[in-house]
A and B are shown apart, each in its own frame.
Chain A
Amino acid sequence: MVKNFIVNLAYKIEASKIHTKFRVFLHNILINNSSKYKKIFDLSMIFLVISTVGILIYEVKHSLPEYINYFEYFAVVIFILEWIGRLIISFDSHKQIIHDYEESQFLNINYNLSESLKIITKKKLEYIFSLNSIIDLLAILPSYRPLRILRIFLLFRLFKVLKYSSSLNIFTKVFIEKKLELTLLLLLYLLVIFFSATIIYIYEGNGLNDKITSFMDAIYWSFITVSTIGYGDITPVSDAGRSATIILILAGYTTIAFFTSIVTSSLGEKLDTIKQSSTLASVKKLKKYILICGYGKTAQVLIDNLKDNDYSFLILENNNDIIHKQKNAKINIINGDATSISLLKKIGINKNISEVIILTGDDTVNLSIILSVRSINTTIPIVCRSNRVKVKQKLLLAGATKLIELNDAASYVALGYLNAPIAYEAIDDILIDYKGAVMSEIEIFDHSNFINNPLSKIEFNNFNINFIGIVHDNDKENFIFNPNKEDTILNEKDHLIVVGYEKTIDEFKTYVQSHRIEL
């Protein structure tokens, strides 16, 4: 009876739209780093933590007005809600029940609810005793009146701040990754302290040194000395004590040096990761950008031109030397293997990327990148460099939309110069916009006055431009050269192709696109 009720409930929860929305909401404010809500949430949490700790400090010498207490309650309620939210989202209980139930149905055995509950309890307990949850709990518990004595633990709230800042997270990661080294070092440190404290206590604790009356004094002295702070409130007076001090200082220096080098080297390693994640984060904010895999000579030309024309792009390159050369160039570059599906997933091959351009010199690598991209996104345009004629077919088979072969493209250009050098150079100028003459595509927007009117309505003669032809929206493949202006009727999204100087084209464009039906 209870079993049936719970299983039914699980299915109801699964089907409930409100529940799904609620979970997505929780996910967005608590976990999803790219969500803007999380940013707002994190910032307000940091504010709450810092203000409550600030109150704690203020309270020492001042009496507080009543409303401050309410603020404290409010903060604690928020902390509790947050903790509950995290607990809920840590594991999908109803899914576990459904999964177990369906499995038992499939295997035709009796469904055992207690098994599912066991797993759920275990998972939830795992979360409760995780570091994250303990930090949260420590921030909440001292507010409970009977535990007021533990008020100092309110400082643990500061640890919560760490949780909301990803850069600080990396700092804690350093400590976690170097756990073994740091633990060994700490043990060594403690050993040295204990060792020298024992020596000084044995030799001077017997009344010889009136400052050392207990073992705690000896430990305190040892710690102050080994850390090279040396207050000098306790100093050794016997030869044995001084010898112990010398050893202690030497050991102190060594351990500090070790500690510093472990942390700095590890932080240095992480610095690239920090930089990369910030690059990735800034690129992800872009509405539209181009992904370029492989940074070679061809990519350099492409990138220079893209930069000049204000396109956004992200480069993936796995050669560290190349990346270090570009350090100061202010371009978005990430050190990574573009063939890796997990890296591409992290970047997110989605609608924000207008196209993927693959330019490495190795065809097998290019093939692998194409397949990796296609495994995530089947429609995105992929332009790929092919280095051998024979592999073209395979690159297309893998899913490249357009291929570019270096020698092929160059031989076309060479032939162009052979046949008509002046015309070819002129065309080159038109396409690169070097000397100001450009070929431009001007779109007829919706609500334009020219729609359903003949082309002759556009007063080309008032502008210093050459009208070359038109591409109709319903027949994009066909360019119509210099059509009869009386017979050609304009439609929405048609493109006029014109050649001229940048300034005059801009004037013409404004003229065409400002002729709109007033709404």
Chain B
Amino acid sequence: MIILFGYSKLAAQLAYRLKTDNKKFCIIEPDDHCIKFAIADNYTSEIYNYECYDDKELLSLGIDSKVKTIFCMHNDFNLNLFVTLSARNLNKNIQIISYCKDINESKKLKLAGANTTINPYETAGLKIFRQIHKPMAVKILDDILYKNTPLDIQEILITPNCTLNGKSFDSIDLFEKHNLIFLGIQDKEISNEFIFSSRKINHKIDDGDVIVILGNKTDIKNLKKDINL
């Protein structure tokens, strides 16, 4: 389950994409005026007119259990901040993605517990820059991420009974065998930082780590079968 808090212009776009992706989500909008837009856009998902000052409202939607992600996309920064803090307080593991307009807002939201902040001005500026700086790379990655190509970038969580568990980078020839590119790993033990495979640190893979691979969808499926996932 996904919660979309606030029905701003950005949220409207996001709701559209979530719907196209067949994701299940509900919308919370405290403002009577804005809620009309959400209703007008005709989503079959549930729409709640909650203010979210009371934790009970969020709890009633299952924020501490079935909700995996909450998008705080309200136009009012303080409201976003408030809901971000509430959500983090109610659920340590929830993914919180919040909308901000500048770097100071982003800092505060992260302090309140947001995993990621989205600044539309920044993303647009960066997007234009990347298209100038690395047009091909951007196109390839965009295609892989958003277009329906056979290629995919996937992250694989290593479980205790996965065959890769306990092995080191060097001893794995599985990726080559499946024609996959191993981009890197996020090691819970060291830090949350992503380590690119090209750094060539001989690293041991443990359960709880996340590895990121690039390749054909079918090849990735086969790999997963091979490593017992």
B102 interface residue per 8 A CB criterion: yes
Whole-angstrom CA separation of A301 from B127 in the bound complex: 10
Whole-angstrom CA separation of A482 from B178 in the bound complex: 11
Contact indicator B198/A411 (Cβ below 8 Å): no
A379 interface residue per 8 A CB criterion: no
Which residues of B are found within 8 Å of A355, using beta-carbon distances?
A: 132
B86 interface residue per 8 A CB criterion: no
Contact indicator A416/B200 (Cβ below 8 Å): no
Task: Please judge, given known A-B contacts A301-B122, A422-B194, whether A441 and B134 are in contact too, CB under 8 Å.
Answer: yes
Whole-angstrom CA separation of A428 from B61 in the bound complex: 32
CB-contact partner of A301 in B101, B121, B194, B214, under 8 A:
B121
Which residues of B are found within 8 Å of A297, using beta-carbon distances?
A: 101-102, 121-122, 125
A176 interface residue per 8 A CB criterion: no
Contact flags B189-205 to A (C-beta < 8 A → 1, else 0): 00001101111100000
Contact flags A418-456 to B (C-beta < 8 A → 1, else 0): 101111111101111001010111000000000000000
B186 interface residue per 8 A CB criterion: yes
Task: Please judge, given known A-B contacts A357-B128, A499-B198, whether A415 and B14 are in contact too, CB under 8 Å.
Answer: yes
Whole-angstrom CA separation of A424 from B123 in the bound complex: 13
Whole-angstrom CA separation of A467 from B119 in the bound complex: 32
Contact indicator A305/B118 (Cβ below 8 Å): no
Contact indicator B139/A479 (Cβ below 8 Å): yes
Query: Which of the listed residues B124, B129, B134 has the most CB atoms from chain A within 10 Å of its own CB?
Result: B124
Contact indicator A430/B10 (Cβ below 8 Å): no
Q: How far is the CB of B49 from chain A (nearest CB, A)?
A: 23
CB-contact partner of B116 in A296, A417, A427, A482, under 8 A:
A417
Q: How far is the CB of B205 from chain A (nearest CB, A)?
A: 14
CB-contact partner of B184 in A418, A426, A471, under 8 A:
A426
B111 interface residue per 8 A CB criterion: no
Task: Please judge, given known A-B contacts A415-B14, A417-B97, A422-B194, whether A409 and B216 are in contact too, CB under 8 Å.
Answer: no
B9 interface residue per 8 A CB criterion: yes
* Shortest Cβ distance from B102 into A: residue: A297
Q: Which range contains the number of A residues in contact with the other chain?
A: 35 or more
Contact indicator B146/A412 (Cβ below 8 Å): yes
- Could you tell me which residues of chain A, from 393 to 421, have a CB within 8 Å of some CB in chain B? 402, 404-418, 420-421
B7 interface residue per 8 A CB criterion: no
* Shortest Cβ distance from B133 into A: residue: A309
Contact indicator A431/B200 (Cβ below 8 Å): no
Whole-angstrom CA separation of A330 from B95 in the bound complex: 41
Query: Which of the listed residues A311, A354, A383, A408 has the most CB atoms from chain B within 10 Å of its own CB?
Result: A408
A465 interface residue per 8 A CB criterion: yes
CB-contact partner of A305 in B97, B123, B129, B193, under 8 A:
B129
Whole-angstrom CA separation of A385 from B125 in the bound complex: 10
Contact indicator A421/B95 (Cβ below 8 Å): yes
Q: How far is the CB of B153 from chain A (nearest CB, A)?
A: 5
Contact flags A265-297 to B (C-beta < 8 A → 1, else 0): 000000000000000000000000010000011
CB-contact partner of A302 in B69, B125, B137, B199, under 8 A:
B125
Contact indicator B210/A422 (Cβ below 8 Å): yes
Contact flags B36-54 to A (C-beta < 8 A → 1, else 0): 0000000000000000000
B181 interface residue per 8 A CB criterion: yes
Whole-angstrom CA separation of A301 from B122 in the bound complex: 6
B173 interface residue per 8 A CB criterion: no
* Shortest Cβ distance from A311 into B: residue: B132
Given A385-B124, A426-B183, 9 more A-B residue pairs with CB atoms under 8 Å apart are A298-B128, A354-B132, A355-B132, A383-B128, A410-B10, A418-B2, A431-B126, A437-B198, A497-B140
Sorted nearest first, the 7 A-B pairs with minimum C-beta distance are A301-B125, A297-B121, A410-B120, A411-B13, A500-B198, A406-B120, A302-B125
